[in-house]
Amino acid sequence: MTERISIGQLYPNAVSPASTRRTPVQQPATTSGNPMFQKLLQEQFVRFSHHAEVRLKERGIQLKPDQLDKLSKAIDKVAAKGAKDALMVIGGNALIVNVPNRTVVTALDGNAMSDHVFTQIDSAMIISS
């Protein structure tokens, strides 16, 4: 079994991507059975796979809260176009995102992108940072 990296280890002085994860929230009785409300909650954040968290730490990539917000909006845009797996370039870093799950699956810094071939993606977006 692999050991999980704690958020404090990954981002000691910044907001970590993992902090955008949301734990289940107790919903008022009027919204708990509303599937549209639940879907809306799911669409408002970005998840990071364990692999992506490890790559972010290894490569010293730290995403700022405004970058996470831009990433979330970019995911919305590519999802509207029907994308499934997208390359997102932000702040000189590349992120591969599984769009339907809103999950970053891996991350590369500028050095790792040099001469790198990106496969199994169906879209790409450059996000101004």
Q: What is the 3-state secondary structure (H, E, C) of the chain?
A: CCCCCCHHHHCCCCCCHHHHCCCCCCCCCCCCCCHHHHHHHHCCCCEECHHHHHHHHHCCCCCCHHHHHHHHHHHHHHHHCCCCEEEEEECCEEEEEECCCCEEEEEECHHHHCCCCCCCCCEEEEECC
Whole-model pTM? 0.68
Q: Which residues of 98-126 are buried (b: 16+ CB within 10 A; e: fewer)?
A: bbeebebbbbbbeebeeeeeeeeeebebe
What local confidence, expressed as pLDDT, does residue 10 receive? Answer: 46
Q: What is the pLDDT of residues 30-68, one digit of tens each?
A: 445 566 655 555 556 899 999 999 999 999 999 999 999
Q: Binning pLDDT at 50, 70 and 90, where does residue 104 land? A: very high
With the C-alpha atoms ordered 2, 4, 70, 108, is the resulting torsion angle positive or negative?
negative
Q: What is the pLDDT of residues 114-129, one digit of tens each?
A: 889 999 999 999 999 6
